[in-house]
Amino acid sequence: MKIGFKKERPVLGLALSGGAVRGAAHIGVLEVLQEYAIEIDCIAGTSIGALIGALYAFGVPLDEIEAFARELDWFKISSFILPSTGLLSNDEMGRQIENLIGDVAIEDADIPLAIVATDIVTGERIVFRDGSVASAVMASSCLPGLYKPLEYRDRLLVDGLLVENVPVRATRELGAERVIAVNLGGNFTYPKPDGIIDVMMNSFEIAVDNNTKRILKAADVVISLDLTSYSRFDVDDVPALIDEGQNHTLARIEKIQHVARPCGRLHRWWRRLLSSSERLPADKVVPQCE
């Protein structure tokens, strides 16, 4: 889906990272953006960012998303299976998504949406811009080793954090000229493990962080949160995590307002130059508004 260049301001995209229950901070980010009337034109999400982004893109009110997050026990929404390619299945997550927004397609979202997953066979970055929302979110949040990979569209898919944990590129591919990136692992340090799952999660995060640092250079505004003191799976932390998202967004609100402001002459010229293109190149950064 390509966003048309009809507005007198830059097309503004939001990239939401993974982070399990810590993704509740995304709700706080969205609350502040709404409060300051920052209109988001497109959203890309990875893992929990895909879930929160999808619900928001389909018009679910933030208070309902918060209530959903409070009940999002990552083990209750899973079912144990005999170990083969994973210990758990997240089919229940898909059912809960469909209960909330229906069996809907990504291309029908109110706000253009992209969801990032990884092909565990080829190592490819897979970006869903059409097809089942529930299936795409399930694929994007299949943590390797913990969840059984999802077989979908002749691929074996796992968590998108392996290839693009903060989906800045996916947001630009939707047509965003400005990108606000929300990184839930902003301090690039890791909590002392309290069990095998924490060991796995630390290992994955360490492996992807160098890639994330490179990815964030392409964003216009980065909201980086230090959430290492919060559990990845304890829903009791949801209210505090929402507060963290609000506070960190408020700290960057002037920069956000700057990149979202109406375009000057140079920006309008650049947009006209690109308007005949089928897609805004992911590696092109549109000049700042005057």
pLDDT grade, residue 283 (50/70/90)? very low
State the pTM of this model. Answer: 0.85
140-180 pLDDT per residue, tens: 999 887 788 999 999 999 999 999 999 999 999 999 999 99
Catalytic option among 41, 119, 159, 220: 159
| Mean pLDDT over each residue of the chain, to the nearest integer | 85
Look up 275 and say whether it is catalytic: no
**Three-class SS state of 17:** coil
| 17, 47, 78, 132: the active-site residue | 47
As a residue count, the chain comes to: 290
User: How far from chain centre, in Å, is Cα 134?
Assistant: 15
Instruction: Scan for tokens 């390509």, then name that residue.
Output: 2
* pLDDT tens digits, one per residue of 73-88: 654 444 444 445 545 6
Specify the residue for token string 């507005």: 7
The Cα 15–Cα 194 span in angstroms is 30
How far apart (Å, rounded) are the C-alpha atoms in residues 128 and 160? 11
Instruction: Check if 47 is active-site.
Output: yes
